[in-house]
Structure 1
Amino acid sequence: MTEALDIARRRFTAKVYDPAKSVTDAEWKDLLEILRLAPTSVNYQPVQYFVAETEEERAAVAAGVSDFNQERVTKASRAIVCAVPFRPSEEHLQAVYKQEIADGRYAGHEGEENMDAGRRYFVGLHAVTSGEFFEWASKQAYLGMGYLMFAAAQMGLDTTIMEGVQFQKMDENLGLAEKGLASVLVLAIGHHDEKEDRNATKQKSRLPMDAVIHRVAK
């Protein structure tokens, strides 16, 4: 069995966190770098991540979370709020392109202008309306969270991804509207409570392979 498969089989969603156990500074630094490196469609990187590290910051996030999820934020070691814009911006497109050049992405290759044009084309396909762009950008948040959750599990950390959020209240609490953003997901990270978290001992259950994996018909 590969390490990746073992992680997938044993990972679970934490329901109760142990506030006495913290994510270390080194672990947190690695997690944030992993999140920065997460893939996004055409490398547009639309998601902004707002991190809650202190008790006060987690309380501010918890205030915008539905009551059944609040302790999963306050008792966790860290929390992340994912927010995305309602529309693309020229400033962001230029920032991504300039960063790619600075990072040497096109070194030894021709046609970097075509890459920028291609990104603009595909972003434009999803920006016919602000609602369509917001939905597309939100998918990038889910992609990043999946990437981070697997990495956290590999590091021996537990996570809880939440849609049980009062998003409008969250946006007000964190001042996201003034930034042209809206929250879409919240993730708690820490160590589950070994005595209280019953989800940790439940057998994982998924549909059988032949119910979800299919060969493409010829």
Structure 2
Amino acid sequence: MNILSAAKKRHTAKAYDAQRRIPEEVMQQVYDLLRNSPSSVNSQPWHFIAANTPEGRARIAKAAQGGYSYNAAKINDASHVIVLCSRIDMDEAHLEAVLDQEERDGRFRDAQARAGQDATRRSYVTQHRFGNKDVAQWLEKQVYLALGTVLLGAAALEINATPMEGFDAKVLDEEFGLNEKGLTSLVLVSFGYSSAGDFNAALPKSRLTQEAAFTFI
């Protein structure tokens, strides 16, 4: 399937077949898509919690109660669920971890190149921390790049996915001790195969026209 066909075919699944499981070799591709997503200055300010068991999904579903109960079945009936978490700040440990990994992966021809990359990334962090004063929001934007990557990838892999912001982040952060790790939950994605109850699968895709969405200059 080419990328445009995948984009046109994908939809947000509204109900899952609880009896169907995605093969782990397919989900490994999903995990690799997330890990290889783009981010500003290769900051990679994310962490992913993947649930592939009923017990794991039930822990995530604790955050889909009360006003968010409409999402509980999309979590419990799915094959897999991933919590996309964002770093709260770009701390020294993470900066060093990313830089060290870049060196292991052969990104630097010499010490000067390593120092230059470090300085560039730190300049962006400084700008967002002290200039724009929006460092947390900047980091969250990078996680949403990963979200877009994995949704398109899931369609290309011919599996269904459901992004969800409708959950209690405080409950989920406490469940997994995220704040103590410098993280916060941002968005959930369920993966699986649609059931007959997925009304959205039969609806035509609706997007604004090219004339409305673009200005060509």
TM-score by length of 2: 0.93
Distance in structure 1 (CA, Å) of the matches to 2:24 and 2:143: 24
Aligned letter for 1:199? Answer: N
Describe the SS at the equivalent of 2:215.
Answer: coil
Distance in structure 1 (CA, Å) of the matches to 2:19 and 2:145: 30
* Equivalences for residues 45-124 of structure 1 within 5 A: 45-65=44-64, 66-107=68-109, 111-124=113-126
Give 1:130 deviation, angstroms.
11
Give 1:150 deviation, angstroms.
0.8
**Counterpart in the other structure of 2:43:** 44
Distance in structure 2 (CA, Å) of the matches to 1:81 and 1:172: 13
Q: Check the 8 A contact 1:88/1:127 in 2, yes or no.
A: no
**Counterpart in the other structure of 1:21:** 20
User: Over the residues paired in the alignment, what is the CA RMSD in angstroms?
Assistant: 1.8
Alignment length, in residue pairs?
214
Give 1:112 deviation, angstroms.
2.6
Q: Check the 8 A contact 1:17/1:190 in 2, yes or no.
A: yes
- Structure 2, unmatched stretches of 5+, are none
Aligned letter for 2:182? Answer: G
- Structure 1, unmatched stretches of 5+, are none
**Counterpart in the other structure of 1:178:** 180
**Counterpart in the other structure of 2:214:** 213
* Equivalences for residues 152-167 of structure 1 within 5 A: 152-167=154-169
Distance in structure 2 (CA, Å) of the matches to 1:98 and 1:130: 27
Describe the SS at the equivalent of 1:141.
Answer: helix
TM-score by length of 1: 0.93
Deviation beyond 6 Å, 4+ runs, structure 1: none
Distance in structure 1 (CA, Å) of the matches to 2:19 and 2:174: 30
Once the two structures are superposed, what CA deviation does each residue of 1:147-198 show, in whole Å capped at 9, x if it has no partner?
01111110110000011011111111121122121111111111111x2111
